[in-house]
Amino acid sequence: MRWRRLLVLAVIASLAVTAALAIGILLLGDFGETEGRVLATTFAISVASLLALPGAQLIDQERALPLAWLTLALAAVAFVLFEHTIWSDDDSTAWKRVGIAVVFAVATTQIAALTSRLRADDRPAVRGVYYATV
């Protein structure tokens, strides 16, 4: 239980800090290129935190650990690619890489969330819908 509580608190704290930072930039900043990049970074932190949460929940439940770690890894890869792309003047294909990474991260996050809800006593119909969805 301690692991989950710490993770949830970390996600909440990161969302609160990024929201406060974004509000501060909007109220006090000139809103130039740098401010836009900082806002994009705060958005990316929030999204990556939320994408990682179902994977961390599976780790806490000690279930489907390869899926859980893959979920965390893909959320991190998507975050790093997004950050690299917004803070560098890379070519246009960089955004395609970001999009691909985000799609895979979202897909594994959804599968991890569904997996964390499965129970040993679920009816066969529920398991069938789960496998069809995955």
The set of residues, in sequence order, having a beta carbon less than 8 Å from that of 97 and lying 6+ positions away, is 81, 85
> Alpha-carbon distance 63 to 67, whole Å?
9
pLDDT digits (tens, 9 = 90+) for 71-108: 999 999 999 999 999 988 767 788 899 999 999 999 99
Six-digit token pair at 66? 């390869």
Angle at 62 between CA 72 and CA 44, to 5 degrees: 20
Q: What DSSP element (H or E) covers 85?
A: helix 65-87
Determine whether 92 is exposed, middle or buried from the number of CB atoms within 10 Å of its CB (0-12, 13-18, 19+): exposed
Is the whole model's pTM more than 0.95, yes or no?
Answer: no
Determine whether 29 is exposed, middle or buried from the number of CB atoms within 10 Å of its CB (0-12, 13-18, 19+): middle
Looking at residue 1, its pLDDT comes to: 57
Looking at residue 110, its pLDDT comes to: 94
Looking at residue 3, its pLDDT comes to: 66
